[in-house]
């Protein structure tokens, strides 16, 4: 866990619709707590009067002349200040829709989120959009400020009306209001001290709420996350440098580095000017390792107990920032933690209307749209799910050096592709078979083979494989079917349908199929096996005799058939992780054979597969 020292400087982001008073609120707060010198205040007030303008506390924050001319804040401004209890950094994020990219940049690093709304103007589209962005960036609670109470005569009913509407919206996107405070930035009501004008308000002033706000600790903070920022060579030392995002590191700490999957101990801590015995979240450090292993910039070091997943495919909620259209299979540049990767967007699952929170019917993603996508990388990326560690699960996409999207990682539906090292194998020596595979092939007059049928539930895999098995058996071919449901009754009965257990289900099935081939069988495997990566691992066991068959049928067709009644249950939420509904299915990219059961009859499908097998494996 973090100690109090680490919590001394929480980062605060304040968001909301343009002109709802973010900068004015910050300026007033700084003035009220004595962070702005009285002389500076009088100077700006006098300058405003000369220009014929009414003084605004936002002028205290204006760093750019063109900001004052345009009357809007166009960049994130970091303001350091302190109260009697602790220090803070304010990130003033712009509200104008053209500068949402800067808002995301500011909010991504914040610890506390504040949402401000003008009680007179009410909730605007940007209010909702910024709220959704906070959720997208991992915030589950916000401090809500209801500004300009002086313009509505400090009306309790108007405050309660806007409060009800905003909290209703926030609850729909999964955000709770930590504290709702009626304020006036212009008059200073309820910012540092309670106002007599709002005697009906029974809460605390903002500054007290802020000082008592407990930073949400990472529940998994004992797990280490140390993205490698660079490697320095100093004499014989190779010093690995980075910032600790989670956990603690000291001399002797055992780390695993991804994607290489190598584990090693920390030999020394290299911190200037003087090293402590232990470092924790937020500390930037250098380390040397007990053994020389390959470590590169962008790698992730973690504890060995619960490392990040390694995956080349994941889902994400992204905010599209560009006027450019999304092109499938176009190469985008992804930056996550200290790593940089080439990725492509393979699928748009849905586009969300921020105003109504319902799915848009349009198919094209436009600037400032929020959408759910599936992203693919040609290499394995170490990643955390945003529910596990928000600080290491945020990323941005670039197209020709332009930031086109920001998003968060959702890997809940995809398995860990990290290869686990098993030291138990060191003392295991396999026995040679008394009867060779060649001898069996000559006797049965055909080669062994693995015919892997993949497709959605209800596509027809089991029906086709059973009929093909019967036909081949009648032709004296040594054949057997491994059906997914049959395996789950026995061999795989201890596995559920989580991504990790699906992976193990496929692995076990592939190993059993391999044993059958040693006995000379042609093995028909009827298994949904939704992940391309795991089907590839199955193929890699015996690539020379593995054939992938895609039993193709659309989700609509399969759900209409619903032979086992599973789709109906899944749509009611009675079955979790159901492929095609709440869990993804990745069709083969280059299968050896495609059988479309939406167009072919059972008889035609069976005949097609039977001819394929005879051609592939008969002498």
Active site residues: 529
For residues 336 and 395, the answer to whether their CB atoms sit within 8 Å is yes
Residue with structure tokens 């920001």?
406
* Token reading at 592: 């050896």
Round to whole Å and give the CA distance between 516 and 448. Answer: 8
State residue 203 phi and psi, 5-degree precision.
-90, -160
State residue 560 phi and psi, 5-degree precision.
-70, -40
Q: How big is the CA angle at 437 (ends 431 and 442), to the nearest 5 degrees?
A: 150
Length of the chain as a residue count: 619
Q: Please, what is the angle between helix 602-617 and helix 461-474, to 10°?
A: 50
- The H or E element containing residue 44 is helix 38-51
Burial of residue 509 (number of CB atoms within 10 Å: 0-12, 13-18, 19+): buried
Round to whole Å and give the CA distance between 502 and 528. Answer: 10
Nearest Cα neighbor of 540 from 423, 432, 424, 419 is 419
DSSP assignment of 267-300 equals: EEEE-SS---SEE-TT-EEEEEESS-----TT-E
Helix (H, G, I), strand (E, B) or coil at 146: strand
Round to whole Å and give the CA distance between 347 and 249. Answer: 39
Within its chain, how far is the Cα of 235 from the centroid? 40
Tally the C-alpha atoms within 13 A of residue 88's C-alpha that lie toward its C-beta. 27
For residues 55 and 49, the answer to whether their CB atoms sit within 8 Å is yes
Instruction: State the CB neighbour count (10 A cutoff) for residue 376.
Output: 17
Round to whole Å and give the CA distance between 312 and 342. Answer: 11
- Identify the bridge partners of residue 579 per DSSP, sorted by sequence position: 583
Residue with structure tokens 């002797």?
252
State residue 442 phi and psi, 5-degree precision.
-65, -40
- CB within 8 Å of 317: residues ≥ 6 apart: 136, 370, 371, 372, 407, 408, 410
Round to whole Å and give the CA distance between 374 and 443. Answer: 48
Round to whole Å and give the CA distance between 10 and 26. Answer: 15
Q: What is the dihedral of CA 261, 262, 263, 269, to 10 degrees?
A: -110
Round to whole Å and give the CA distance between 168 and 112. Answer: 21
């Amino acid at each position: 866990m973090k100690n109090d020292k680490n919590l001394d400087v929480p980062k605060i982001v304040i968001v909301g619709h343009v002109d709802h008073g973010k900068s004015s609120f910050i300026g007033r707060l700084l003035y009220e707590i004595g962070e702005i010198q009285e002389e500076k205040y009088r100077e700006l007030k006098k300058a405003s009067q000369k220009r014929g303008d009414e003084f605004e506390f936002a002028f205290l924050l204006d760093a750019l002349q063109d900001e004052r001319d345009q009357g809007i804040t166009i960049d994130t401004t970091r303001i350091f200040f302190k109260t009697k209890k602790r220090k803070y950094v304010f990130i003033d994020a712009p509200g104008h829709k053209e500068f949402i990219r800067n808002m995301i940049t500011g909010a991504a690093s914040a610890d506390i989120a504040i949402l401000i709304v003008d009680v007179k103007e009410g909730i605007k589209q940007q209010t909702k959009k910024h709220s959704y962005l906070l959720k997208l960036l991992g915030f589950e609670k916000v401090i809500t400020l209801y500004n300009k109470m002086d313009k509505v005569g400090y009306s309790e009913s108007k405050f309660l009306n806007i409060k009800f509407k905003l909290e209703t919206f926030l609850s729909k996107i999964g955000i709770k209001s930590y504290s709702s405070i009626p304020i006036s930035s212009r008059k200073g009501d309820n910012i540092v001290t309670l106002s007599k004008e709002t005697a009906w308000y029974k809460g605390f002033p903002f500054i007290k709420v802020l000082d008592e706000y407990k930073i949400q600790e990472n529940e998994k903070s004992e797990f280490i996350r140390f993205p490698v920022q660079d490697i320095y060579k100093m004499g014989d030392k190779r010093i690995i440098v980075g910032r600790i995002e989670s956990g603690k590191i000291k001399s002797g700490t055992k780390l695993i580095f991804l994607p290489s999957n190598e584990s090693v101990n920390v030999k020394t801590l290299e911190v200037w000017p003087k090293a402590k015995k232990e470092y924790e979240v937020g500390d930037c450090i250098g380390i040397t390792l007990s053994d020389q292993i390959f470590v590169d910039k962008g790698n992730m070091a973690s504890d060995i107990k619960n490392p990040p997943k390694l995956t080349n495919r994941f889902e994400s909620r992204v905010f599209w920032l560009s006027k450019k259209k999304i092109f499938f299979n176009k190469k985008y540049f992804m930056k996550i933690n200290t790593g940089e990767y080439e990725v492509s967007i393979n699928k748009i699952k849905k586009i969300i209307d921020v105003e109504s929170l319902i799915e848009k019917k349009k198919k094209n993603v436009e600037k400032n749209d929020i959408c759910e996508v599936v992203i693919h990388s040609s290499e394995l990326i170490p990643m955390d799910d945003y529910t596990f560690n928000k600080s290491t699960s945020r990323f941005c996409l670039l197209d020709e050096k332009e930031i086109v999207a920001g998003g968060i990682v959702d890997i809940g539906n995809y398995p860990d592709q990290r290869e686990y090292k098993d030291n138990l194998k060191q003392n295991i020596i396999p026995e040679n078979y008394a009867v060779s595979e060649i001898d069996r092939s000559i006797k049965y007059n055909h080669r062994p083979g693995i015919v892997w049928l993949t497709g959605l539930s209800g596509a027809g895999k089991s029906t086709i494989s059973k009929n093909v098995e019967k036909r081949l058996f009648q032709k004296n071919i040594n054949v057997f079917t491994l059906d997914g449901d049959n395996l789950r009754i026995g061999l795989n009965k201890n596995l559920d349908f989580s991504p990790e257990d699906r992976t193990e289900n496929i692995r076990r099935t592939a190993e059993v199929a391999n044993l059958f081939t040693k006995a000379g069988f042609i093995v028909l495997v009827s298994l949904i096996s939704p992940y391309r990566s795991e089907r590839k691992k199955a193929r890699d066991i015996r690539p020379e005799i593995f054939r992938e068959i895609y039993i193709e049928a659309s989700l609509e067709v399969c759900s209409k058939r619903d032979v086992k009644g599973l789709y109906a249950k899944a749509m009611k939420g009675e079955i979790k992780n159901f492929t095609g509904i709440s869990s993804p299915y990745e069709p083969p990219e280059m299968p050896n054979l495609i059988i479309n059961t939406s167009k072919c009859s059972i008889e035609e499908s069976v005949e097609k597969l039977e001819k394929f097998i005879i051609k592939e494996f008969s002498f």
